[in-house]
Amino acid sequence: MNYSALYRKYRPQVFSDVIGQSHITETLKNQIKSGRISHAYLFTGSRGTGKTTCAKIFARAVNCAEPNDGSPCGKCDVCVSLADSSNIDIMEIDAASNNKVDEIREIREKVKFLPVKGKYKVYIIDEVHMLTDSAFNALLKTLEEPPAHVIFILATTEVHKLPATILSRCQRFDFRLVSVDELTSHLKSVYDKEGRKYEEEAVAYIARAAEGSVRDCLSIADMCLNYAGEKLTYNDVLSVLGAADKGKIRELFAKIAGGDIGGIFKSIDGLASSGKAMSLIAKELTKYARDLLVLKTADESLLTDTKENIARMKEEIGNYSAELLISVIRIFSEIDAELRYSVSPRIVLETAAVRASRLQTDDFTALAERVRRLEQDGVKVVAAAQSVGGQGAQTAVGAAAEKPTDAKFVSGRLTTCFRENGNMGLYTLVGGHHDYGIVGDNFIIYAMDEEFLRFSEPSVIDEINSALKKMNIALKTKVEKRTDVVDMDKEINNIKKLIGNAKLNINK
């Protein structure tokens, strides 16, 4: 009966115990030291980042008789009395269930009374964005000119829902998501104090799963302790969170990257049979693609995974292009809401996996990956022709490669070339345009108005021609203005005239 959840047991009592929010705690401590206390504060940020905790510490600190480095001492008579939940000087109000105008009017009446023990009466209004419009209006005047002995602290996860009139009357503090390293260090400290043994990989996975929330981190840690034996292992954490085994996620990702549609269905069926939620599988695939992308473009210090898994990813990273990884991340991160509300989440996941395997998306990264695959296949064909057909085959394949007839293929090669060379202006211009053609020895760019002017610049044409030459494509760039586009306004007027004439003829 005396058991207390970890997130309650280890809730900070002074500012120095708050992790990851030093930009806020230092400011609040300095205000208390200098006595420059504002009448209204707004604490905003994601859940579990310390908004309510800091509000409570601040409320006790401004009333403390002998604050210690800007934090409540916890020993004076005021601190002792305010620690009792029955005190009436610190009022914590849940706006989600007390959001009507009558309840705010009641606060307006109560603020007139002086505090019982300390210097200030502090009203902490949690989830303040839940107040109704009339309740906000009722709060506004009191918030603007409260009695000298009253402080308001508003807390919210959705600051964009607050009226500008409320925002303008508060000192705003934005709480950040806590880093994985800070959460890992904090969790180790908690487990050490609890006298529990753990694997490093297990703690790191919990910290990562918390996604920046201290409360979520400690809640997950609590569940894991109740599940584990003498020592918390990595597999214990996976079991508690219902996470898929990394090996199975790796296998599914390989099927997606290889375009093995049948294998995709089998892998998802295996994961589903083991009781894994479809939303969690999608999340794990997204994380796996992200980790591969980090390894490919940055440094492994940004990863929180086991040494064995990182070593395995290093072995595989050469098989995947950045374009493929970006496309997979995009596809699976976009289906979260659909998975949540779909009557058949499995079909949603399977469809997304097949779509990712075929790279049928409308973004440039997917297009570039498809072009890369075509180029890769082309290299294999040339090599095979050279080994089997001799000199004649080399000449035939070489001629076809030097003068392609597919304008989309050429534009895709150009897009890839400009991206790889870092020429983002031409990458966007060429990749975002879709009207191309090949006539004789010319690569034709059909354009209108502003695009025609941009493509017609000598420097742009020179850059495109240079890229074509670099890729051994025997074509010259030519820009032509489109004149055969239908003028819809003119066509509508013509139709109206025809309809009018038809009516005249019928009447006759």
User: Which tens digit of pLDDT belongs to each residue from 331-363?
Assistant: 898 888 888 888 889 999 999 999 888 764 444
Give every CB contact of residue 30 below 8 A, 6+ residues apart in sequence: 70
Q: pTM higher than 0.75, yes or no?
A: no
pLDDT at position 29: 94
Above 50 in pLDDT, residue 427?
yes
The pLDDT tens digits of the residues spanning 148-203 come to 899 999 999 999 889 888 898 899 999 999 988 899 999 999 999 999 999 988 89
Let me know if 431 is exposed, middle or buried by CB neighbors in 10 A (0-12, 13-18, 19+).
buried
Residue 293 CA to residue 305 CA, distance in Å, equals 14
| CB-CB neighbours of 320 under 10 Å | 20
Q: 457-503, pLDDT tens digit by residue?
A: 888 999 999 999 888 888 999 999 876 554 555 555 655 565 555 54
**Topology of the domain covering 6-175:** Rossmann fold (3.40.50)
The SS3 call for residue 437 is strand
Confidence of residue 140 (pLDDT cuts 50, 70, 90): confident
Q: How far is CA 183 from CA 18, 190, 196, 426, in A?
A: 11, 10, 17, 43
Is the pLDDT reported for residue 388 higher than 50? no
The 3-state secondary structure of 319-339 reads HCCHHHHHHHHHHHHCCHHHH
Q: Is residue 397 predicted with pLDDT exceeding 50?
A: no
7: tokens are 């997130």
Q: Measured between alpha carbons, how far is 429 from 432 in angstroms, rounded to an integer?
A: 5
Q: What is the pLDDT of residue 273?
A: 86
Per-residue pLDDT, 191:
93
Return the bridge partners of 126, or none: 94
pLDDT value for 464: 92
Asked whether the beta carbons of 108 and 124 are under 8 A apart, the reply is no
What confidence tier does 383 reach under pLDDT thresholds 50, 70, 90?
very low
Q: Do 179 and 20 touch, CB atoms closer than 8 A?
A: yes
Mean pLDDT of 53-67: 92
Residue 37 has pLDDT above 50, yes or no: yes
Dist. CA 318–CA 291, nearest whole Å: 13
Q: What is the pLDDT of residue 494?
A: 59
Cα 315 from Cα 222, distance rounded (Å): 35
pLDDT at residue 282 greater than cutoff 70: yes
User: Does residue 381 register a pLDDT over 70?
Assistant: no
Q: With 0-12 CB in 10 A as exposed, 13-18 as middle and 19+ as buried, what is 150?
A: buried
Are 154 and 42 in contact by the 8 Å Cβ rule? The answer is yes
Query: Is 435 strand, coil or helix?
Result: coil
What would the mean pLDDT of 425-448 be, rounded to a whole number?
A: 85
pLDDT score at 370? 56
Whether residue 147 is predicted with pLDDT greater than 90 in this model: the reply is no
Range with the lowest mean pLDDT among 168-182, 293-307, 363-377, 383-397? 383-397
Statement: residue 135 has pLDDT above 60: yes
Alpha-carbon distance of 372 to 416, in angstroms, equals 8
pLDDT exceeds cutoff 60 at 450: yes
d(C-alpha 410, C-alpha 471), whole Å: 10
CB atoms under 10 Å from CB of 384, counted, come to 12
pLDDT grade, residue 277 (50/70/90)?
confident
Tens digits of per-residue pLDDT, 64-100? 988 999 999 988 888 888 887 778 888 888 887 877 7
Please count the helices (runs of H) and the strands (runs of E) in the chain. 24, 10
Least confident residue range of 79-88, 101-110, 146-155, 395-404: 395-404
Residue 412 contacts residue 371 (beta carbons within 8 Å): yes
| Residues of the chain above pLDDT 90, percent | 30
CATH fold of the domain at 246-361? Zinc Finger, Delta Prime; domain 3 (1.20.272)
Helices 345-358 + 246-257 axis angle, to 10: 50
Task: Return the pLDDT at 373.
Answer: 56
* CATH code given to domain 180-241: 1.10.8.60
| Predicted local distance difference test score (pLDDT) of residue 83 | 81
Containing 240, the helix (H) or strand (E) segment is: helix 234-241
| 221 CB-contact burial (10 Å; exposed 0-12 / middle 13-18 / buried 19+) | buried
pLDDT at 404 over 80: no
Confidence category of residue 107, pLDDT binned at 50, 70, 90? confident
> What is the overall mean pLDDT for the chain?
82
**Residue 478: its pLDDT value, please?**
92
pLDDT at 385 exceeding the cut of 70: no
The answer to which of 7-21, 46-60, 267-281, 388-402 has the lowest mean pLDDT is 388-402
Give me the phi and psi of 207, to 5 degrees please. Answer: -60, -40
* Higher per-residue pLDDT: 403 or 309: 309
Q: What is the pLDDT of residue 190?
A: 94
Which residue in the block uniquely carries the two structure tokens 């900070």?
12
Confidence of residue 104 (pLDDT cuts 50, 70, 90): confident
Residue 73's Cβ-count burial label (10 Å; 0-12, 13-18, 19+) is middle
Query: How much is the pLDDT for 496?
Result: 58
**pLDDT-based confidence at residue 118 (cuts at 50, 70, 90):** confident
